[in-house]
Structure 1
């Protein structure tokens, strides 16, 4: 394999324009086959240039549509054309944006805010190439073979729905792009010739096996990435004018498709070489089977090496030990969604009765009534639209609740000052972006025989610093008092319409009972009872074991709370803040 086939590890630390431009060439060569691209970039000239490059490489006249965030199903899938139906007196189908983009590319604006239902419907269309329309009394199947470009403008912990990104072969990161913005490696004429040649390009079975092995080595459980990498390898071969996929094509495809999706696992330990049998063939004249096996192993090793080399060196260190993949349509740390009567974000319509305060969707009401007009005019002749109460459609709303992180900090003992400093730093880091994410933070310190609310729920960084300036430390450990105070504050926040999260920092070794007496056995029982009370409220919780070594008592307390247990004996403010962010993100 040539040196160009294996990316340089240092160069992989930051995205390059050459890789982004190559991804655009591949997508223009095989749009529907590759599924699309996950374009992670803020709005700006760089993103506009990549999109313009993709448009120039695509065939002239190819459908290119843009879908705004939170588009209704009537726009996404289609439905009843209300105006035409009322004019003609019979149901008329209106195609949605997915069917309109058949054979083209769909741009999803602000894909990180896409709702789970919309992502699932787009994913189904990418899988089948068909829009199944079953609404408004209609049943249709419309062709929709298309590619999707998910425009991801989210912050570091925001992602588009996993159901969508899993089906997009090409992750493209433009933020932090280094190097000159050179012309793409292939022009529109070369891409057009590659599209014509692509159906004839073949890949040997060894290439598929090598890509699957690379996916396993990177910890990728899904079968889609290696299959998409195979499509990318065939497109690379077509761009070079070849009818067969080479090892270099497979290596480049693995670096583009597989590397951004996985984390390399530890390499298996080398096994001692077995003694060769006496009848081993002469190494200078290897048999055909041995030659094929050696070639297969060389191909697998080169593809795995290329995929691993393309992973940024600092990726492992940046991962939180408890970070989970973002769920589809996740709302970050903006709180859990809840249904609201007439406030918040519209999420569609539903049949309902007219009542004070209800908001009627006039268009959807007319849409529901339109198919029945011929029958109703026969039963009740006369001009005008015939409406009935079952036609009424009311607008549904959903509100995003604010999130409150309640830090319950063990301020007892000689290590209290160190742990309180960590809590203070974590609070300040979380508040740094609270205005954009509507987070609130509160701090409860427990020591001696009681718990004290040091910082009421706030979004003010100045107030937080002032409240945290002189935290007391030392004394006994009344864990039950701290948990009871956190439970009461969480209940108050929930009544105020916010979503609470309790973060308990302790070593779990309680020595003060609820009545203030020094009794370790009773203190442990009281702490377990308080933990079960917190669990009964359904409050999400996180227990950070601050002991120099992980303690069984803290693990048992976390189990009673139904909390995530994080042993971080040397946690700094940044590590604690990342862990809290991961916990606050709904899975």
Structure 2
């Protein structure tokens, strides 16, 4: 979440946000929509109210929840009308009902990729295609989208395909309430701009400037310059002009191009330097032999011959791209709007999204099935083994077959057969359990145990937010012991860790086997285990409890390969004063990340675990 802005900056940001609402009201399909990143509050409510009041009174305004079904989104069989008429009757979906208006996506950062893809397909094709339940129909529709992004961190954002189809990207989190005043536009001004929009023209050089600005900002999507062009035309219509000017291009650059920037545009001096540098070395080797042979005669003859054929025409053609295309207008507007730490923000966002795709997640991986969780549609099946019958979808499936079944001698008004049964499907996030396996042997055991205790307590505090669990296994002497079964209780964790003694041999194989058994049990229960091993990797006690470093090391490698076969995400923290090859070899056998931390404290271990495994991202 962005920090609070000073009043002048916040006031300017709010004015741009209101302009974005006005441009969206003038040309909803052309601008594409607005991605409004803001937590619920009076500032967001005021912007949504302004955006709605600027639209004509008859303009559709539809709100779509994240749990919307396909039949409500795209359309499908109208169950009541079908049963009444005795034939399939189509029900229009919310996207078809929104033709010419606005669709509001609530909690857009949590929208399912499948739902976002269906909305994107409708936006691209300009129509809703329904081919289900014995129906086939295409309904033209064009609308704008307001995506309410309530994400609190960088990794909580709407999916990429949806963001790409939204023209303006606004962030209202840093704007205080007293800076969010009313609108500087009236509804009649928007209506007049709508009528003027078809007559607004844009010169080729302004269009080329927007394309060049998109390339300079590192924007790879072709939608961005097209949306910026439509926004510039809408801005000109709003000001009562029929020609796009530089200020319209600057506004479109701030609202549409700058939020998608992936690089800082080069300055004119940096852009000219690479062009001049290669020209000089190419001319130098060609001119050096000529004065030696022909001295000044050849140089004087070659010099006038180059400008003569082109005369002034070549110079004009070469200067036209620089003077004719006002690309500096776009670049100056982009540089003025880009924050100073834009590159750092982009890198942090990229790492957060990468960890999000690889890590277990905020509360575990998403799993489908079961009888609990968020509804995830329906599937064909019988209502047994805990599955719940979806009566509406069952009747919807049976409705198209009623005329045919009545001809077979059925006297019932509605004939439902077993093949029509549809049961609810749910999805829920699996529990993530971080399993610590701590080497409690040797003279430095107390230090390592203190670090482990601190790391467990730090991660346990975050488990209350993520609803994850923590477990602890310690090995020393001749065996391994489960000190802390999977739990979220901080009191229980401290009580279990308080009286752990240290010293004795290193039964590393026993510790890994205990971790192996616990991870298999957690996987069987549907949890997602993450294994953290703190050891120096030097085993000296075998499974039988006898001494023998070579045999103990061999058994530890075998146990590590057993952990690897489970596919558990794991991390080996080497706590030896001087890391040796045994720790890295053990990590390779486990398929784990290797992290040597000879002087690690609790906070360092906790931070390393989060960075390496993605916990907490």
TM-score range, shorter chain: 0.7 to 0.9
1:371 and 2:390 correspond: no
**Most deviating of 334-343 and 31-40:** 334-343
Q: How does 1:97-496 map to 2 (within 5 A)?
A: 97-156=94-153, 157-178=155-176, 180-207=179-206, 210-212=209-211, 214-216=213-215, 218-264=217-263, 271=274, 273=277, 274-275=279-280, 287-295=315-323, 299=327, 302-303=330-331, 306=334, 309-311=337-339, 313=341, 316=344, 319=348, 322-324=351-353, 332-353=361-382, 355=384, 357-380=386-409, 382-408=411-437, 430-443=459-472, 455-464=484-493, 483-496=512-525
Deviations along 1:487-544, whole A, 9 cap, x unmatched?
33322222232122234567xx733367386869984x76665554333213234567
Give the match for residue 300 of structure 2: none
Deviations along 1:401-425, whole A, 9 cap, x unmatched?
2222334567899999998888766
Aligned mates of 1:25, 1:166 — CA distance in 2: 20
Q: CA deviation at 1:64?
A: 0.5
Give the match for residue 293 of structure 2: none
Is the 1:323–1:583 contact (alpha carbons within 8 Å) kept by the matching residues of 2?
no
Aligned mates of 2:237, 2:32 — CA distance in 1: 18
Aligned mates of 1:215, 1:11 — CA distance in 2: 28
Is the 2:253–2:334 contact (alpha carbons within 8 Å) kept by the matching residues of 1?
yes
Structure 1 counterpart SS, 2:179: coil
Give the match for residue 510 of structure 1: 537
Is the 2:206–2:326 contact (alpha carbons within 8 Å) kept by the matching residues of 1?
no
Q: CA deviation at 1:214?
A: 4.6
Q: CA deviation at 1:354?
A: 5.1
Q: CA deviation at 1:288?
A: 1.8
Structure with more of its chain in helix, by fraction: 2
Q: CA deviation at 1:191?
A: 2.9
**Most deviating of 514-523 and 36-45:** 514-523
Is the 2:573–2:596 contact (alpha carbons within 8 Å) kept by the matching residues of 1?
yes
User: Structure 1, unaligned stretches of length 5 or more?
Assistant: 1-7
Aligned mates of 1:450, 1:143 — CA distance in 2: 71
Deviations along 1:238-275, whole A, 9 cap, x unmatched?
33344444454444433333433344369679546455
Cα 1:286/1:171, change in 2 over 3 Å:
same
| Structure 1 length-normalised TM | 0.80
1:68 to 65, 73, 80: 65
Q: CA deviation at 1:11?
A: 8.1
Cα 1:136/1:253, change in 2 over 3 Å:
same
CA RMSD, Structure 1 to Structure 2 (Å): 4.7
Structure 2 counterpart SS, 1:379: coil
Q: CA deviation at 1:428?
A: 5.1
Structure 2 counterpart SS, 1:319: helix
Cα 1:193/1:294, change in 2 over 3 Å:
same
Structure 2 counterpart SS, 1:500: strand
Aligned mates of 1:547, 1:301 — CA distance in 2: 59
Q: CA deviation at 1:389?
A: 2.2
Aligned mates of 2:210, 2:577 — CA distance in 1: 43
Aligned mates of 1:10, 1:45 — CA distance in 2: 17
Aligned mates of 1:78, 1:314 — CA distance in 2: 42
Is the 1:110–1:153 contact (alpha carbons within 8 Å) kept by the matching residues of 2?
yes
Q: CA deviation at 1:55?
A: 0.2
**Most deviating of 215-224 and 477-486:** 477-486
User: Structure 2, unaligned stretches of length 5 or more?
Assistant: 284-302
Structure 2 counterpart SS, 1:150: strand
Is the 1:427–1:577 contact (alpha carbons within 8 Å) kept by the matching residues of 2?
no
Aligned mates of 1:481, 1:253 — CA distance in 2: 64
Is the 1:446–1:482 contact (alpha carbons within 8 Å) kept by the matching residues of 2?
yes
2:93 to 86, 91, 96: 96
Bigger relative CO (Cα 8 Å, ≥ 6 apart): 1
Structure 1 counterpart SS, 2:352: coil
Cα 1:224/1:362, change in 2 over 3 Å:
same
Is the 2:539–2:556 contact (alpha carbons within 8 Å) kept by the matching residues of 1?
no
Structure 1 counterpart SS, 2:363: coil
**Equivalences, count:** 573
Deviations along 1:280-328, whole A, 9 cap, x unmatched?
989x999322322323786158527725852362772682774325889
Aligned mates of 1:184, 1:339 — CA distance in 2: 45
| Structure 2 length-normalised TM | 0.76
Q: CA deviation at 1:65?
A: 1.0
Q: CA deviation at 1:194?
A: 3.1
Give the match for residue 297 of structure 2: none
**Most deviating of 170-179 and 8-17:** 8-17
Deviations along 1:9-46, whole A, 9 cap, x unmatched?
99889993233223222222221122222222222222
Aligned mates of 1:28, 1:573 — CA distance in 2: 52
